[in-house]
Chain A
């Protein structure tokens, strides 16, 4: 007994067998292949992929086997050596086109479907010590399927009995709906922290989402330490907080004491949450929120019946939530929501109990309405479709979808597995944050918790979106759609202030109005005003920047010419009405808050003014040559007049008017960053000092380096970094990116690690309430724009690597100008893989026109000595 269920089986079959027994059956059962054929066809029907590897040509194997698999699992035949790969179906067999070794191509075929080595079972003859034939034998199948489970089929050429019994066990496990396993590849799995003190943190880390809906990774046996949650993107309640939906993952054990035994693991590659354990009383379960069918969710669990009670599979999100329940035969339904929005969940459960052992399979679907009551009928209808598909096939679809998603998003860091895993975790959560269609409101904590109420900040526009533009462009587009659909509200907000154009709010929820808290209660019971809502206006330019970056990176000119245009033009119009010109014709933007929120109500914040200037220029470009040419000319004049704080004598940008006159306090005099230094020293002291919360001037270097003086990055880094408390989760990754660009990748690496581990280590103490998506976006940007030095310049992909010594190589997969690209940089080469011709410029050298395929471009490998724009 193997005791595990596999998605693929690779079998060496050297039988000189016939498909049908002759009229006089031989006494040797190994020559009868009918048993094998039947099982292969049954495995195919169960969704299992099988490959038979034989000494002889695969056509001969099929002639003898006569298999007719009907799918959905595939059957392939190949020789141990050679390139012929035969795909066998119910209609016959046909060679699979392509070059290279057959087994290698087959492994790729499996991996493209999310069936990696750890989900594969290999049956082949073992190798005895001192085996004299080792040298003549082909390499083991585990070379092709690493981490595969192996069954030694014995020293005999064919131990058919053993092979058939292994296959029978797989069929039985499928029929019994046993919990599938995951590929526990340490490069792709995140073990979750255990213990009551870490329960809510683990839930957040293990959130499963497809960008449309998300479920926190709560245990089924929810206890007092848990905060289970199901959310749907963009569905807010009357309080402008994301509306919790009915819970679908819970069980109410008869003994609600400590959680049942078992470890939990998040499978990043397959997008599943897996629970397992060696203890006889351990629960095993696998759960997913489908990427292939966005309204579908499913779990299977098995273990002691006392931990898996039967009954209504749905729960209210909280005792006080308004949640209604109903039942229609085997289908259960529940609905939450009031005052114009709602979430409905339908579920069906199948239970098999044998003695004290129980297996539960639960399928669930959801429907939601942002403006009205959710329809349970819709959820029921989707549930019927998911039932028809079945758990196993839905899981296969889900894994396949994730494999396709990762093909455009993978990160590999040679020599630093911890950084690689942390980066993959960040990418996983980014890929889960936004839908590939419609609109996506990506809150500061996404769908991973109630923190920040699901409200949308600049986190979405300049931290998350740039990553998704490259690794999941459709999701980036849906994020922009969220802003586009709230332009009317933004225009009204500008008008209410007596200004023109569109003014996006600092903090946004369902209808796009400003939901920034206005005040907090002070110690004397009196309200203390919060200034970010009225004054942190750089958000207006951030939204415009996001739209422009999307278009520049993807090459989607239709977007800016069409629906994206007002995001550039109306925002520029706002700035034109916001700039105040003094008697000398200099432009000012007064009374703002920049990214550094330690200093409020300042004049001429460099970041705000530089972004406004960029916005005006970019917006003017749309109007030039049209009836708006005069307005464009005005905008360009205002842009040129704007004070940006540049001081040629010091080669520095002054963060805001009067900043240099503040107390020259350094972080080295206070403590080691990161530190919320305002909590320690008091807001008054900090606001009177040069200490800053996060990159402010440097944020301009990150987003719009072309707007700044060449050569100013390093002086600004040297000046502002010692004054930066990194008291914001948004900060370290940006600094990492900039230090790498400035030619100091070692310094960048420390900040990168800080950012990459932020939620995995719960650095802030707030991970329990949700993951920091902006930090994750920053992590990807540090890799892409910092360490790889990627940039889009007029359709050319620029690569300027700056790798720390600990990294042997860094490779990113992403999409650029409409095609998938992979860029790998090591000490002396930049290797580019693309599907269509692509112009690449490496490290300031002349551009290289890369043909489809893989091109290695030599580079000096020297650390950049100068600043990179």
Chain B
């Protein structure tokens, strides 16, 4: 990759809504995170509709604008499948991952059909610094780990602080913890080694997943929340995504997994130990 001109592109889906500015600002941050060029993409179903509003938004931020004609959802999906596109940034909310007709049709289409990472920018997201700290909740399934390895790791700079969060469920709670200070350290190393070797550290929590994700993202000043998901909006499979989008004002990077990720049992024995600190909290 040429140091002067990155060949990767982050595509910001741009419309004339009130959220457009936040989408572009977040896209700029994602571009810096991934060392990519940001391109704003505006799709108009009616070629007669003027684009001066979106053009102005893009120009203010020094972002190139690409105007496409067609059905917005499928057209954006087609653009995302271009060889240089590595991620999309869209405006969205919990409704974007809710089944059935209604608003957010375009964002739903992108989220359900995209082959790669999509950053969802909530409408209430505020101004943020550079993206340096990512919060990655993982349930410990192979599918999610594969999505992280295949899509997130190649995407981000190596000096990014990646914090993994695992919220215990009845299926994943350890059977025994003699002295939690020591045992959680061992379990944490094993979990990271198996599911996210490049992470800086892991946090274990108990309780509701959405609540813990939201709380930790605030407590640890995360800049971006990363979630893996099955791209299925059905109630059973998108609860966490909907819940986080509804509760957090942070952008959420969604990584599609190849198959529905069931909740796995406790992590298997370790491979190489990972560096990082372990913090125990239970609420």
Q: Knowing A765-B190, A765-B267 are in contact, say whether A520-B174 is a contact too (CB < 8 A).
A: no
Q: Which of B178, B267, B268, B279 contacts A729 (CB 8 A)?
A: B178
In whole angstroms, what is the CA distance A677 to B173 when docked?
8
Q: Which of B176, B177, B181, B219 contacts A517 (CB 8 A)?
A: B181
Q: Knowing A227-B273, A523-B279, A523-B281 are in contact, say whether A764-B179 is a contact too (CB < 8 A).
A: no
In whole angstroms, what is the CA distance A191 to B197 when docked?
28
In whole angstroms, what is the CA distance A673 to B182 when docked?
21
Contact present for A197 and B176 (CB under 8 Å)? no
Query: Which chain B residues numbered 258 to 283 have a C-beta less than 8 Å away from chain A?
Result: 266-273, 277, 279-283
Q: Choose among B175, B178, B183, B215 the residue with the greatest number of A CB atoms under 10 Å from its CB.
A: B178
B9 interface residue per 8 A CB criterion = no
Q: Which of B170, B216, B268, B272 contacts A680 (CB 8 A)?
A: B170
Q: Which of A673, A679, A772 contacts B206 (CB 8 A)?
A: A679
Contact present for B175 and A520 (CB under 8 Å)? no
Query: Which chain A residues numbered 668 to 722 have a C-beta less than 8 Å away from chain B?
Result: 671, 673-684
- Least Cβ distance of A457 to chain B in Å? 8
A20 interface residue per 8 A CB criterion = no
Q: Which of B174, B268, B282 contacts A197 (CB 8 A)?
A: B268
A801 interface residue per 8 A CB criterion = no
Contact present for A765 and B181 (CB under 8 Å)? no
Contact present for A676 and B174 (CB under 8 Å)? yes
A727 interface residue per 8 A CB criterion = yes
B194 interface residue per 8 A CB criterion = yes
Contact present for B182 and A727 (CB under 8 Å)? no
Query: Which chain B residues numbered 162 to 214 have a C-beta less than 8 Å away from chain A?
Result: 168-170, 173-183, 186-187, 189-190, 194, 203-204, 206-207
Residue of B nearest to A764 (CB): B176
- Least Cβ distance of B282 to chain A in Å? 5
Contact present for B271 and A197 (CB under 8 Å)? yes
Q: Choose among B183, B216, B220, B269 the residue with the greatest number of A CB atoms under 10 Å from its CB.
A: B269
Interface of B (DSSP majority class): loop
Task: Give the size of the chain A interface in residues (CB under 8 angstroms).
Answer: 53
Contact present for B273 and A452 (CB under 8 Å)? no
Q: Knowing A225-B272, A727-B175 are in contact, say whether A197-B279 is a contact too (CB < 8 A).
A: no
Counted as pairs of residues, one from A and one from B, with CB atoms less than 8 Å apart, the total is: 131
- Least Cβ distance of A520 to chain B in Å? 5
Contact present for A198 and B269 (CB under 8 Å)? yes
Q: Knowing A523-B279, A682-B282 are in contact, say whether A451-B182 is a contact too (CB < 8 A).
A: yes
Contact present for B178 and A444 (CB under 8 Å)? yes
Contact present for A762 and B269 (CB under 8 Å)? yes
A521 interface residue per 8 A CB criterion = yes
- Least Cβ distance of A595 to chain B in Å? 11
Contact present for A200 and B271 (CB under 8 Å)? yes
Chain A residues, CB < 8 A from B215: 523
Chain B residues, CB < 8 A from A730: 178
Q: Knowing A197-B194, A452-B179, A764-B183 are in contact, say whether A675-B281 is a contact too (CB < 8 A).
A: no
Chain A residues, CB < 8 A from B219: 523-524
Chain B residues, CB < 8 A from A200: 269-271, 273
Q: Knowing A452-B182, A768-B270 are in contact, say whether A679-B187 is a contact too (CB < 8 A).
A: no
Q: Which of B169, B269, B277, B279 contacts A765 (CB 8 A)?
A: B269
Q: Knowing A198-B269, A200-B271, A766-B187 are in contact, say whether A727-B176 is a contact too (CB < 8 A).
A: yes
Q: Knowing A224-B272, A517-B181 are in contact, say whether A765-B266 is a contact too (CB < 8 A).
A: yes
A61 interface residue per 8 A CB criterion = no
A747 interface residue per 8 A CB criterion = no
Interface of A (DSSP majority class): loop
- Least Cβ distance of A759 to chain B in Å? 11
In whole angstroms, what is the CA distance A199 to B168 when docked?
25
Q: Knowing A680-B170, A681-B206, A764-B183 are in contact, say whether A523-B176 is a contact too (CB < 8 A).
A: no
Contact present for A201 and B206 (CB under 8 Å)? no
In whole angstroms, what is the CA distance A444 to B179 when docked?
10
In whole angstroms, what is the CA distance A766 to B177 when docked?
9
Chain A residues, CB < 8 A from B175: 673-676, 726-727, 763-765
In whole angstroms, what is the CA distance A655 to B258 when docked?
51
Chain A residues, CB < 8 A from B266: 765
Residue of A nearest to B169 (CB): A680
Chain A residues, CB < 8 A from B281: 522-523, 528
Contact present for A728 and B176 (CB under 8 Å)? yes
- Least Cβ distance of A841 to chain B in Å? 37
In whole angstroms, what is the CA distance A675 to B177 when docked?
9
Residue of A nearest to B219 (CB): A523
Chain B residues, CB < 8 A from A457: 179
- Least Cβ distance of A190 to chain B in Å? 16
Contact present for B283 and A197 (CB under 8 Å)? no
- Least Cβ distance of B98 to chain A in Å? 29
Q: Knowing A198-B269, A524-B219, A679-B204 are in contact, say whether A729-B176 is a contact too (CB < 8 A).
A: yes
Interface string of B114-152 (1 = CB under 8 A from A): 000000000000000000000000000000000000000
Chain A residues, CB < 8 A from B271: 196-197, 199-200, 224-225
Chain B residues, CB < 8 A from A453: 182
Chain A residues, CB < 8 A from B189: 769
A767 interface residue per 8 A CB criterion = yes
- Least Cβ distance of A523 to chain B in Å? 4
- Least Cβ distance of B25 to chain A in Å? 29
Contact present for B216 and A728 (CB under 8 Å)? no
Q: Which of A224, A451, A532, A763 contacts B186 (CB 8 A)?
A: A451
In whole angstroms, what is the CA distance A678 to B207 when docked?
10
Chain B residues, CB < 8 A from A199: 271
In whole angstroms, what is the CA distance A683 to B277 when docked?
21
Contact present for A676 and B176 (CB under 8 Å)? yes
- Least Cβ distance of A178 to chain B in Å? 33
In whole angstroms, what is the CA distance A673 to B168 when docked?
15
Contact present for A679 and B282 (CB under 8 Å)? yes
Contact present for A682 and B273 (CB under 8 Å)? no
Residue of B nearest to A728 (CB): B178
Query: Which chain B residues numbered 230 to 283 have a C-beta less than 8 Å away from chain A?
Result: 266-273, 277, 279-283
A530 interface residue per 8 A CB criterion = yes
In whole angstroms, what is the CA distance A225 to B270 when docked?
8
Chain A residues, CB < 8 A from B176: 674, 676, 726-729, 731, 763-764
Contact present for B206 and A682 (CB under 8 Å)? yes
Q: Which of B187, B207, B280 contacts A520 (CB 8 A)?
A: B280
Chain B residues, CB < 8 A from A521: 277, 279
In whole angstroms, what is the CA distance A457 to B178 when docked?
11
Interface string of A105-130 (1 = CB under 8 A from B): 00000000000000000000000000
In whole angstroms, what is the CA distance A530 to B179 when docked?
10
Query: Which chain A residues numbered 187 to 223 have a C-beta less than 8 Å away from chain B?
Result: 193, 196-201
Beyond the given A197-B268, A682-B206, please list 19 additional residue pairs across the A-B interface where CB-CB is below 8 A. Answer: A197-B194, A197-B270, A224-B271, A226-B272, A517-B181, A523-B216, A675-B175, A676-B180, A678-B282, A679-B180, A682-B282, A683-B282, A728-B177, A763-B175, A764-B176, A765-B190, A765-B269, A766-B186, A768-B270
Could you write out 20 A-B pairs with CB less than 8 Å apart?
A225-B272, A226-B272, A451-B182, A452-B182, A517-B181, A523-B281, A524-B219, A674-B175, A675-B175, A676-B176, A678-B206, A680-B169, A682-B206, A728-B177, A762-B269, A764-B177, A765-B175, A766-B183, A766-B186, A767-B269
Q: Which positions in A face B, CB cutoff 8 Å?
A: 193, 196-201, 224-227, 444, 451-453, 457, 517, 520-524, 528, 530, 532, 671, 673-684, 726-731, 762-769, 772
3 A-B pairs with the lowest CB-CB distances in the bound complex, closest first? A201-B269, A674-B175, A766-B186
